């Protein structure tokens, strides 16, 4: 069976991976036929010239009208831009150009004449503007004069463009304008000389041409003055721009230096911030350690080793309010011992009561704690415990006592930090705290005393 599976995977499985013999791409056997229709390296034939074995990816370049090398591909004549409609095979293109030179030249001339007509129209349009100083010629002499005149005008039509106020547009083109007007002036002079040979000296046409010459001469003189003023201003501006460029380079260098310094300062600041955060974490850990040490020192200061605990509870009003609201229902006392190597104990008080005394009494409990010398002590715990709430007038203390139940888990050897608390849930009614005859609460403080009987301990 295993041999059949291997043979199937090698020869018969339709979803096994195979490599395309043209592009070496890995494909599924069942997709091989579809892949051959799109594979960029499959050899194909050109439909135009019949060239064979062209990789499919290169066929489009081969048949491109501009950069391709297909000889039979039909391409447009280079003179299509001027109207030649011919489209023929690339190898016949040179013969077409050689045979139809006259036709192509005719098309070019047609386009040229169209362009000249457009330029002449623009010249007439701008010559008709306000304050331009240009007059129309009589139609009877248009063939004699307007030919050379229009030829000069059409050579630089932009030179005659004026604003309605008579000023030339584009101060940077003054040289071109002057040259154009000079050419126009020479054309008019030639036309006047030609006409004087066949017209009366006082004829209307000659006078019109002379007036036109005077107008053009005046315009040329005005433009020359403006050109000189413009050159002076340009020179001044060039000096100013050069100074500004130098200042900009200085400013750029200064800004770049400031930017480098800013990046360096930012890196320094980030490094300092990281160090500060690290120091803050260290300080926080130190604060926690100091708080633990303070708590340990306070606990050691308040620890007694004579089986008696005198416990002062300050801020009684606030702590009782916390007990009523449920924020802190109970408070643990500092630990105390029956001796240096004796039982470790503490008290737990509920200022708003617990269990049966909740909301009506103060509940006070005794708690056995795990100590260092528990292995040397007698278990279960059997010592009598006495609770006292001291009357600060020394009149009538509240006293209650109990003897441990040996069967209770509260008095077995502790297996965790503390055993379950046990004691007096109805130690003292809350109403008794308000007694004016007693001073159980004074200066917002109460005093509790817990006494453990050690008379039967060695």
CATH of the domain at 370: 2.60.210.10
pLDDT tier at 37, thresholds 50, 70, 90: confident
Q: What is the mean pLDDT of the chain?
A: 79
Domain that holds residue 380: 303-452
Give the pLDDT confidence score for residue 106 in this predicted structure.
77
Rounded-to-integer distance, Cα 41 and Cα 57, Å: 6
Specify which residues 400 forms β-bridges with.
387
The answer, yes or no, to whether residue 347 has pLDDT greater than 80, is yes
φ and ψ of 274, to 5 deg = -65, -40
Contact 62, 48 (CB under 8 A): no
The pLDDT value given to residue 185: 57
Q: Which helix (H) or strand (E) holds 347?
A: strand 344-350
- Count CA atoms within 13 Å of residue 117 on its CB side: 6
Q: Given this model, what pLDDT does residue 130 score?
A: 41
Interatomic CA distance for residues 191 and 434, integer angstroms = 134
Q: State the pLDDT at residue 325.
A: 94
Query: What Å distances lie between residue 28 and 23, 40, 43, 440, CA to CA?
Result: 14, 17, 21, 93
On whether residue 236 sits in a domain, the answer given is: no
Residue 400 covered by a domain: yes
- CA pair distance 393, 400, nearest whole angstrom: 19
What six digits make up the tokens of 258?
């400031």
Query: How far, in Å, CA of 333 to CA of 428, rounded?
Result: 18
- pLDDT over threshold 90, residue 378: yes
Tokens of 3: 């041999």
Quick one: which of 9, 6, 26 has its CA closest to 17?
A: 26
Q: Is a pLDDT exceeding 60 seen at residue 205?
A: no
Q: What is the pLDDT of residue 249?
A: 92
Q: Give yes or no for a contact between 345 and 366, defined as CB atoms under 8 angstroms apart.
A: yes
The tokens of 103 are what? Answer: 């036709």
Q: How confident is the model at residue 368 (pLDDT cuts 50, 70, 90)?
A: very high
Most confident of 32-46, 110-124, 158-172, 239-253: 239-253
Q: Give the number of residues written for the chain.
A: 458
Question: Which of the two residues, 413 and 16, has the higher pLDDT score?
Answer: 413
Q: How does DSSP classify residue 338?
A: S
Q: Is 443 part of a structural domain of the chain?
A: yes
Is 70 exceeded by the pLDDT of residue 286? yes
Full-prediction pTM beyond 0.85? no
DSSP annotation string for 17-35: EEE-TTT--EEEGGGHHHH
In a domain, 9, yes or no: no
- Region 396-404: mean pLDDT is 94
Query: Of 66-70, 184-188, 323-327, 328-332, which range is least confident?
Result: 184-188
- Please, which residues have CB within 8 angstroms of residue 164's CB and are 6 or more apart in sequence? 129, 130, 131
If pLDDT is split at 50, 70 and 90, which confidence band does 112 have? low
Predicted local distance difference test score (pLDDT) of residue 261: 94
Buried b (16+ CB within 10 A) or exposed e, 375-404: eebeeebebebebbbbbeeeeeebeeeeeb
> What pLDDT shows up at residue 217?
73
Report the alpha-carbon distance of residue 372 to residue 16 in Å, rounded: 73
- In the predicted structure, residue 131 carries a pLDDT above the cut 50: no
Domain count, the chain: 1
Residue 376 lies in a domain: yes
* Cα distance between residue 270 and residue 30, in whole Å: 60
What would the two tokens of residue 360 be? 């009506």
Q: Residues 239-261: what's their mean pLDDT?
A: 92
Is the pLDDT at 429 greater than 60, yes or no?
yes
Q: How large a percentage of the chain has pLDDT more than 70? A: 74
Q: What is the pLDDT of residues 296-321, one digit of tens each?
A: 787 777 788 999 999 999 999 999 99
Identify whether 421 is preceded by a cis peptide bond (ω within 30 of 0).
no
pLDDT value of residue 207: 66
Q: Does residue 214 fall inside a structural domain?
A: no
Could you tell me the two tokens for 147? 């030919």
Q: What value, to the nearest 5°, has the Cα angle with vertex 385 and ends 381 and 391?
A: 160
In a 13 Å sphere around the CA of 73, the CA atoms on its Cβ side amount to 17
155 φ, ψ to 5°? -65, -35
In a domain, 293, yes or no: no
For the chain, give the percent of residues with pLDDT over 90.
Answer: 41
160-174, 265-279, 414-428: segment of lowest average pLDDT: 160-174
248/238 Cα distance (integer angstroms): 15
Window from 23-32, 376-385, 402-411 with minimum mean pLDDT: 23-32
Residue 169 has pLDDT above 60, yes or no: no
Query: Is 89 part of any domain?
Result: no
């Amino acid at each position: 069976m295993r041999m059949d599976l291997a043979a199937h995977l090698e020869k018969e499985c339709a979803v096994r991976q195979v490599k395309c013999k043209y592009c070496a791409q890995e494909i599924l056997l069942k997709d091989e036929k579809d892949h051959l229709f799109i594979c960029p390296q499959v050899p194909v034939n050109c439909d135009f010239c019949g060239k064979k074995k062209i990789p499919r990816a290169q066929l489009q370049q081969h048949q491109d009208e501009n950069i391709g090398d297909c000889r039979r591909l039909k391409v447009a004549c280079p003179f299509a831009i001027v109207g030649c409609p011919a489209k023929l095979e690339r190898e016949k293109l040179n013969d077409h150009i050689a045979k139809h030179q006259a036709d192509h030249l005719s098309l070019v001339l047609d386009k040229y004449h169209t362009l000249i007509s457009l330029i002449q129209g623009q010249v007439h349009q701008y010559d008709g503007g306000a304050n331009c100083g240009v007059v129309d010629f009589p139609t009877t002499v248009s063939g004699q004069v307007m030919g050379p005149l229009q030829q000069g005008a059409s050579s630089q039509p932009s030179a005659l463009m004026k604003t309605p106020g008579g000023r030339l547009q584009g101060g940077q083109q003054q040289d071109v304008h002057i040259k154009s007007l000079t050419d126009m002036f020479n054309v008019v002079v030639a036309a006047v000389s030609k006409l004087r040979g066949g017209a009366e000296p006082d004829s209307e046409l000659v006078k019109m041409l002379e007036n036109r010459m005077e107008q053009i001469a005046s315009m040329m003189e005005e433009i020359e003055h403006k050109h000189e003023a413009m050159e002076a201003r340009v020179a001044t501006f060039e000096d100013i721009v050069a100074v500004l460029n130098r200042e900009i380079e200085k400013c750029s260098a200064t800004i770049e230096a400031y930017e480098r310094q800013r990046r360096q300062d930012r890196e320094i600041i980030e490094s300092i911030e990281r160090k500060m955060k690290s120091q803050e974490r260290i300080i926080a850990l130190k604060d926690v350690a100091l708080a633990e040490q303070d708590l340990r020192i306070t606990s050691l200061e308040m620890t007694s080793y004579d089986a008696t605990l005198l416990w002062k509870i300050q801020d009684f009003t606030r702590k009782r309010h916390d007990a009523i609201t449920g924020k802190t229902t109970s408070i643990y006392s500092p630990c105390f011992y029956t001796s240096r190597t004796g039982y470790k104990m503490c008290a737990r008080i509920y200022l708003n009561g617990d269990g049966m005394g909740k909301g009506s009494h103060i509940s006070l409990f005794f708690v056995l704690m795990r100590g260092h010398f528990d292995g040397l002590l007698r278990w279960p715990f059997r010592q009598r415990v006495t609770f006292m709430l001291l009357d600060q007038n020394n009149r009538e203390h509240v006293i209650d006592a109990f003897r441990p139940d040996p069967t209770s888990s509260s008095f077995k050897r502790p297996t965790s930090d503390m055993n379950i608390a046990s004691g007096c849930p109805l130690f003292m009614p809350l109403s008794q705290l308000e007694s004016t005859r007693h001073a159980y609460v004074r200066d917002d403080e109460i005093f509790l005393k817990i006494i453990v009987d050690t008379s039967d301990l060695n």
